[in-house]
Amino acid sequence: ETGVTQTPRHLVMGMTNKKSLKCEQHLGHNAMYWYKQSAKKPLELMFVYSLEERVENNSVPSRFSPECPNSSHLFLHLHTLQPEDSALYLCASSQIGGAGELFFGEGSRLTVL
């Protein structure tokens, strides 16, 4: 496998469910990111992990909980979400000290009923 892979690609959940999004990168990068993309809004940075440590939490509600067990894997745990959390969640990776390019996964389309 190459690049950045995300699972599941589509997820429908109720407001009381608990689910997780998974991201895996095969690029040897040492930084990973979660972004939220909603219609007519810029990409919103949620979390940044650098060398497996969280370095940024962009005022994200606690119903979103990230986990980075190693430099290749990133999870986003979801619980008691709201309908306005419905969006495309994108994982990305980059190399610290590199030129700043981000490499994105295909995204997980989340619908909260």
Enumerate binding residues for another protein (CB under 8 A). Answer: 33, 40-43, 45, 48, 56, 90, 99-107
For another protein, which is the closer residue by CB, 16 or 40? 40
Amino acid at residue number 58:
N
DSSP code of 41? S
**Nearest to another protein of 5, 17 (CB atom):** 5
Q: Is 105 exposed, middle or buried (0-12, 13-18, 19+ CB in 10 A)?
A: buried
Residue 44 CB, shortest distance to another protein, in Å, is 9
Q: Which is nearer to another protein, 35 or 72 (CB)?
A: 35
Rounded least distance, CB 75 to another protein, Å: 18
**What is the number of other CB atoms lying within 10 angstroms of the CB of residue 109?**
15
The minimum distance between CB 80 and another protein, in angstroms, equals 27
**Closest distance between another protein and the C-beta of residue 12, in Å?**
17
Nearer Cβ to another protein (72/93): 93
Please, are residues 9 and 106 in contact by the beta-carbon 8 Å criterion? yes
- Residue 21, judged by CB atoms within 10 A of its CB (0-12, 13-18, 19+), counts as buried
